[in-house]
Chains A and B, each alone.
Chain A
Amino acid sequence: MLRHSLIAFGIMFVAVSGTLAKKESAIPPSVAKQKQLALVRVNVTGQSYDYFRPWQKKAPFSKRALGAVLSKGRVLVTADLVANQNYVELERAESGEKTAANVQVIDYEANLALLEPTEKTFLDGITPLEISPDTVVGDRLAAWQLEPTGALLATEGLVTTVQMMPYPIDIGEFLTYRISIPMQYRENSYTVPLVKNNKLAGLLLRYDSRSQLLDAIPAPVITHFLKEAESQNYRGFPSAGFSFFPTRDPQLREFAGEKGKGGGVYITNVEAGTPAMKAGLQVGDVVTAIGNNEIDQNGNYVDRLFGKIEFTNLLTAHAYAGDVIPFHIQRNGKAMQLNMTLEHRDAKDYVSPPYYLDQPPRYYVLGGLIFQELSRQYLKEWGLNWQREAPQRLVYLDRFQSEFFPERNRRVVILSQVLPANSTIGYDDLAYLTVTKVNGKEIKSLDDLAQAVKQPIEGFIKIETEEDPKQIELDAAQVAAEAPELQENYGISSLQRLQ
Chain B
Amino acid sequence: MKRFVVAISVALLFTPILEAQESTPAPPPVEQQIPGQQPGASRSTPPGQAIVPVPVPIAPPKPNGPVQKSLVRITATSVEPDYRAPWNAGALQRGVGAGFVISGNRIMTNAHVVANSRYVTVERDGDPNKYPATVQFIANDCDLALITVSAPDFFKDMIPLKFGGIPALESTVSAYGYPIGGERMSVTTGIVSRVDFQLYTHSSVDQHLAIQISAQINPGNSGGPVMQDGKVAGVAFQGYSGDVAQGVAYMIPTPVINRFLKDIGNGHYDEYPDLAITYAKLQNPAQRKFLGLKDGDRGVLVSSVVAAGPSDGILRPGDVLLAIDGHPIASDASVELEGERAQFEEVVERKFKGDSVKFEILRDKQPMSLTIKLYKPWPYSIQGHSYDVRPRYVLYGGLLFQPLNLDTLEAYRSTDLRLRHFFEYFILEQIYLQHPDVIVLSNILPDPINTYLAPYRGAIVDEINGKKILTLDELAKAFAEAPERLVIRMIGDGPPLVLDRNKIEAARERIKTRYNVAKEQNLEERPASGAPKQANKT
Contact = CB atoms under 8 A, between A and B. Distances in A.
Contact of A255 (B284, B304, B453, B487): B487
A14 B448 CA distance: 46
Interface stretch (A330-338, A444-452, A468-476): A468-476
Contact of A426 (B281, B493, B494): B281
A426 B283 contact: yes
A255 B496 contact: yes
Given A392-B421, A424-B284, A473-B287, A249 B453 contact: yes
A104 interface: no
28 contacts: A1-B493, A2-B494, A245-B455, A245-B495, A248-B452, A249-B498, A252-B452, A255-B496, A255-B498, A266-B495, A396-B417, A396-B421, A403-B492, A425-B285, A426-B281, A460-B289, A462-B290, A468-B303, A468-B304, A469-B301, A470-B317, A471-B303, A472-B287, A473-B290, A473-B291, A475-B285, A475-B286, A475-B289
B428 A468 contact: yes
A269 interface: yes
A403 B425 CA distance: 17
- Nearest 3 A-B pairs (CB), nearest first? A426-B283, A469-B280, A269-B493
Contact of A473 (B284, B417, B498): B284
B355 interface: no
B500 A474 contact: no
Interface string B270-305: 000000001011111111011100000000010110
A134 interface: no
Q: Which interface residue of B281, B317, B415, B421 has the most chain A CB atoms within 10 A?
A: B421
Contact of B282 (A426, A460, A467): A426
Interface in A328-383: none
B160 interface: no
A345 B29 CA distance: 48
A254 interface: yes
A113 to B, nearest CB: 32
A488 to B, nearest CB: 21
Contacts of B285: 425, 475
A217 interface: no
B495 A471 contact: no
A402 B493 contact: yes
A427 interface: yes
A160 interface: no
B284 A245 contact: no
A392 B420 contact: yes
Contacts of A472: 284, 287
Contact of A251 (B317, B318, B500): B500
Main secondary structure of the interface of A (DSSP, over half): mixed
A417 interface: no
Nearest to A462: B290
Interface in A226-266: 243, 245-246, 248-252, 254-255, 266
Interface in A265-281: 266, 268-269
A243 B282 CA distance: 47
Nearest to A468: B303
Given A251-B499, A426-B283, A245 B494 contact: yes
A493 to B, nearest CB: 26
Contacts of A58: none
A57 interface: no
Interface in B399-424: 415, 417-418, 420-421, 424
Given A245-B455, A254-B498, A268-B493, A423 B303 contact: no
Given A249-B453, A249-B498, A427-B284, A400 B418 contact: yes
Nearest to A475: B286
B514 interface: no
Contacts of B494: 1-2, 245, 268
A396 B290 CA distance: 33
Interface string B133-162: 000000000000000000000000000000
A110 interface: no
A388 B415 contact: yes
A395 interface: yes
A395 B416 CA distance: 12
A249 B282 CA distance: 57
Interface of A: 1-2, 243, 245-246, 248-252, 254-255, 266, 268-269, 387-388, 392-393, 395-396, 399-400, 402-403, 423-427, 460, 462, 467-475, 478
A388 B496 CA distance: 28
B485 interface: yes
Contacts of B492: 400, 403
A386 to B, nearest CB: 12
Contact of A392 (B304, B417, B453): B417
A252 B495 contact: yes
Contacts of A424: 284
A43 B493 CA distance: 45
A255 B488 CA distance: 11
Contacts of B495: 1, 245, 252, 266, 268
Contacts of A268: 493-495
Contacts of B291: 473
B446 to A, nearest CB: 13
Nearest to A297: B452
B290 A403 contact: no
Contacts of B452: 246, 248-250, 252
Contact of A243 (B278, B418, B453, B493): B493
A470 B300 CA distance: 13
A423 to B, nearest CB: 7
A388 B452 CA distance: 29
A477 to B, nearest CB: 10
Contacts of A467: 428
Contacts of A393: 421, 425
B332 to A, nearest CB: 9
A246 B291 CA distance: 57
B424 to A, nearest CB: 8
A252 B456 CA distance: 12
A255 B287 contact: no
A469 B304 CA distance: 8
A471 B290 CA distance: 11
A469 B289 contact: no
Contacts of B424: 392
A28 B353 CA distance: 86
A388 B281 CA distance: 30
Interface in B88-130: none
B299 to A, nearest CB: 12
A153 to B, nearest CB: 42
Nearest to A266: B495
Nearest to B452: A249
A245 B455 CA distance: 10
A255 B492 CA distance: 19
Contacts of B503: 251
Contacts of A249: 452-453, 498
Given A250-B452, A468-B303, 4 more contacts: A403-B492, A425-B284, A426-B283, A468-B428
Contacts of A243: 493
Nearest to B282: A426
Nearest to B456: A2
B499 A426 contact: no
Interface string B419-456: 01100110010000000000000000000000011010
A390 to B, nearest CB: 11
Nearest to A395: B417
Given A252-B495, A470-B317, A425 B283 contact: yes
B498 A2 contact: no
Contacts of A460: 286, 289-290
Interface string B312-336: 0000011000000000000000000
A423 B455 CA distance: 51
Contacts of B283: 425-426
Contacts of A468: 278, 280, 303-304, 428
A250 B498 CA distance: 9
A254 B284 CA distance: 62
Contacts of A266: 495
